[in-house]
Amino acid sequence: MIEPREPAEPKRRPLEQWAAEALAQLEHHGLLRHLEPLESPQGPVVDVAGRRYVNFSSNDYLGLAADLDVVAGARTTAMRHGFGSGASRLIAGDTTAHVSLEKALARTFSSEAALLFNSGYQANLGVLSAVAGPEDVLFSDALNHASIVDGCRLSKAKVVVYPHRDVGALGELMAQHPGRRQLIVTDAVFSMDGDRAPLRELAQLGAPLIVDEAHAIGVLGPNGGGLCEQLGVHADVRIGTLGKALGAFGAFALCSKSVRQWLINKARSLIFSTSLPAAVCGAAEAALQAMTPQRRARLWRNIRQFSAGLKAHEDSAIFSVILGRPDRAVAASLALREKGILAKAIRPPTVPQGTSRLRFALSAAHTEEHIAMALHALENLPR
Ligand SMILES: *Cc1c(COP(=O)(O)O)cnc(C)c1O
């Protein structure tokens, strides 16, 4: 009789091996990340893993993500257009819902034209790689969002990173790096610190200005048009997301009609990707309607309460409590969870080394009690 052979130790496939090594490295440095699905609708109070938390980690600044008018906007439009969009916009994926939303965006935010993108990430990739090429120079703030960093890289332009908000240094760098064309790109409100770009001074440097208003649309400006609107600054392209204050999904560029036409012909993230479902456009258009001054006033009441408690600037709806090492930020985040507060630890590469932090994003939907709870928990945080 032939003895059955021991089954050989299954050989690990290379990708499995590499994954295991990379994950072990991240774990060692306190940088391993996990997904945590919400069990409730998005909002100021959410359920995670069977527990209820007051949520300070969403960018739902106006409390529109689960608003029933926004949901109804999606539903009505889906009933008319179906769900899947079927193709890219230039092929057969454009609908009257897309065009209607673009008109509403241009009107609401006082722009000659608007162009939809599938997300803010894709808007930055598409816009930056369309407007700049290998002979050009893109000047980018050191703390710009990752999607701007990636868009700059994809453009193959020379990228000159200037010190955060330092217009003097930028002026000197612009003199040192002429190139065929120069463009400046910046966040309006910086996503991790919540501070504002010096847009007036940047505009005065004379180069075309691209401003990412992701955290300023709906939050700043008399009509919620962002920091450019608030300061009366003209940017050549303003990028906004529909996924944050507007509680929907997708993004847009506000620009002139000719720049819009240029982007339609050059922006690869728009040309080579299936368009947004019409229902998403319907939701976003309903959100524009629901983006009332009253909601913005409620958000600002919360911002004032929180900033007074923290003795911090009231620049935006974003507040960071910097803790340094990643393990300290994770420990602080867990301590807050014990008190019923969800404020996720933000670690490199999202923020620079040594600046791991708790990031709080406020919403118009938070109550005075929610804000007081967070402040109280922070006072008693073990440091
Ligand atoms: C969130 C964010 C984006 C990406 O927008 P999405 O629509 O979420 O892809 C782009 N820029 C900045 C500054 C952001 O904070």
Asked if residue 14 has pLDDT above 90, the reply is yes
What mean pLDDT is reported for the chain?
A: 96
Residue 76: its H or E element? helix 68-81
Asked if residue 7 has pLDDT above 70, the reply is no
**374, part of any domain:** yes
* Full domain range(s) for residue 194: 69-290
What is the structure's pLDDT at 246?
A: 98
Asked if residue 8 has pLDDT above 80, the reply is no
**214 in contact with ligand 1, CB cutoff 6 A:** yes
**92, part of any domain:** yes
Pocket test for ligand 1, best of 128, 241, 318 (most atoms within 8 A of CB): 241
Ligand 1 geometric centre to CA of 239 (Å): 9
**336, part of any domain:** yes
**316 in contact with ligand 1, CB cutoff 6 A:** no
C-beta of residue 291 within 8 angstroms of C-beta of residue 64: yes
Average pLDDT over residues 92-100: 98
Asked if 253 and 301 sit in the same domain, the reply is no
Last residue of a domain, one of 241, 257, 290: 290
Going by their DSSP bridges, the two strands 158-162 and 237-241 should be labelled as unpaired
**119 in contact with ligand 1, CB cutoff 6 A:** yes
**173, part of any domain:** yes
Length of the chain: 383
Summarised one tens digit per residue, pLDDT across range 224-245 is 999 999 999 999 999 999 999 9
The CA distance from 180 to 133, in Å, is 9
The CA distance from 293 to 349, in Å, is 36
Summarised one tens digit per residue, pLDDT across range 35-57 is 999 999 999 999 999 999 999 99
The CA distance from 162 to 250, in Å, is 29
Summarised one tens digit per residue, pLDDT across range 189-215 is 999 999 999 999 999 999 999 999 999
What is the structure's pLDDT at 2?
A: 67
Average pLDDT over residues 15-26: 96
What is the structure's pLDDT at 6?
A: 67
**132, part of any domain:** yes
**Domain at 375, CATH number:** 3.90.1150.10
* Residue whose pair of structure tokens reads 């009609």 in the numeric block: 257
Asked if residue 96 has pLDDT above 90, the reply is yes
| End-to-end C-alpha distance for the chain, whole angstroms | 69
3-state secondary structure of 236: coil
Instruction: Please give the tally of structural domains in the chain.
Output: 2
Asked if 152 and 226 sit in the same domain, the reply is yes
Going by their DSSP bridges, the two strands 137-141 and 182-187 should be labelled as parallel
Asked if 201 and 296 sit in the same domain, the reply is no
**What are the residue numbers of the active site?**
191, 215, 244
The CA distance from 16 to 349, in Å, is 23
Contacts (Cβ under 8 Å, ≥6 apart) of 282: 73, 74, 75, 76, 77, 78, 97, 101
